[in-house]
Structure 1
Amino acid sequence: MQTIKHYLEHYGLTDLFTPTVIESMKIERRAGGSRLFSQGDEADTLYLLVEGKLKISMLTPEGKRLIIAFKTPFDMVGDVEYVQKCPFINTVEAVTDLVLLRIPHAVLETEMANNMAFLQFLLETITHKFVTKAQAMNFNLLYAVDVRVASYLLAMTPDKPMLDSPSLVDMADLIGTSYRHLNRVLQQFEQAGWIKRNNGKIDLLERESLLELAGHNIYE
């Protein structure tokens, strides 16, 4: 079992934080499929993603959820909320088992508020996230539904060939299409021999064919 020191050294973060901040860090583990937090929840913690894969989505004014991105290490979660002093603006869920380092906002405000290296680090990561969000919105408008479905299936199964008990209604909302259209695309994939639906599960039989359709995985 890895230590906080190991993760900080592995990602080159040891010199970024003061000893007091490092002492305040806690390791948190989340199981795949669990929700880290929901849009609108109170934000008082900055998370450092050091193992696993998570999914970030947002709720539109119409009440539909759309995928913003999938994230793998290293990444920060809750950095925008730390800067803006606002509730969480997105919903974050574990795709695989996660390991995160938790840092209380209160400690960061005391120790890092005037640390130029840390502020520059925040600026770079937040800027990247806003670019990613803009790209995600464009992808939902510009890419065909079958490409988005293929990308979603690939992104949700990084370490296994099967998607367990997916809600097709939720999946349709997340990729920005209707349940009926999604079901038609899945039927097409099944007829082509790329997937197999079995007792509410989706087995990915031809991952290479899905990768070819997705081109570059648009949700990564």
Structure 2
Amino acid sequence: MRENKNKSDINAEIQRSGFMNFFSFPADSFVKLVTFSPNEYIIEESLLPSHLFFLTSGRAKLYTTLANGKIALIDFFRAPCFVGEMELVGHTQDICSVQAIEPCVCLALPILQCREMLLTDPVFLRKICLYLGGKNARNIRSLTKNQAYTLENRLAGFILLSTATDIYKEKHSHAADYLGVSYRHLLYVMAQFIEKGFLKKENRIYRIADKQALLELAHVVDPDLFF
């Protein structure tokens, strides 16, 4: 995590993102402007976050380690969104990892200084309730889509969500678990994507060769998906 202390940059990001619309107290007096590199942790598993983050640009993924040692992908985040809001409101068990997929810019409020103000701010609490309700509805829609659409459509969206700079390198086991399919079925569809020229295999990674084709498949599931 790198902090930018330039006041002009901080104010510009606050204005651009509409950050102050979430608060009735002077949150801009406490906020920091921070950047995370690809693969860097925004929140580390089992560690209470020191900040409430508002992701203003970039994408990240949420995952956890199961009791048997397997890694389970849970969700993907894209700006604008909060990161660490569950821990702020008291959900401190089973803290999951949030890892940047691409460069992520965040406005960060230190929880030690701002916790009481945040939890007694009616504007913030209303906004966060609406945000959590929207996230829950989105998760329900995702579960429904997993049952209603083919793996080709869902895998195309997954590849686009988890890819930075057109390089896909997610482990097949993680992808198969997230999409609710067998490892063999996933490999079969990946091979089809290579045969059709959507992907190009390069050693242990895949390079997106035809993003438009993947977008067309993904848009069947989510017409609002864009990259």
Structure 1 residues 41, 174: closer, same or farther in 2, change over 3 A?
farther
1:134 is matched by which residue type in structure 2? I
Aligned with 2:25 (options 18, 27, 36): 18
- Is the Cα contact below 8 Å between 1:53 and 1:95 reproduced in 2? yes
Structure 1 residues 197, 33: closer, same or farther in 2, change over 3 A?
same
CA distance in 2 between counterparts of 1:64 and 1:219 reads 28
CA distance in 2 between counterparts of 1:136 and 1:6 reads 34
| Secondary structure, aligned partner of 1:170 | helix
Moved more, 102-111 or 43-52: 102-111
CA distance in 1 between counterparts of 2:85 and 2:170 reads 30
Deviation string 1:128-167 (CA, Å, 9 cap, x unpaired) is 1111222223333333222221111122236x3332x432
CA distance in 1 between counterparts of 2:91 and 2:203 reads 44
- Is the Cα contact below 8 Å between 2:153 and 2:221 reproduced in 1? no
Q: What RMSD, in angstroms, separates the aligned Cα atoms of the two structures?
A: 2.7
1:213 is matched by which residue type in structure 2? L
5 Å-filtered alignment, 1:28-177, equals 28-57=34-63, 63=70, 65-68=72-75, 70-87=76-93, 89-157=95-163, 160-163=165-168, 165-177=169-181
Q: Structure 1: where are the runs of 5+ without partners?
A: none
Shift of 1:111: 2.2
Q: 2:217 matched to which residue of 1?
A: 213
Q: Structure 2: where are the runs of 5+ without partners?
A: none
Q: 1:183 matched to which residue of 2?
A: 187
Q: TM-score, normalised by structure 1?
A: 0.83
| Secondary structure, aligned partner of 2:89 | helix
- Is the Cα contact below 8 Å between 1:41 and 1:87 reproduced in 2? no
| Secondary structure, aligned partner of 2:20 | coil
| Secondary structure, aligned partner of 1:100 | strand
- 2:203 aligned with 1:199: yes
Q: TM-score, normalised by structure 2?
A: 0.81
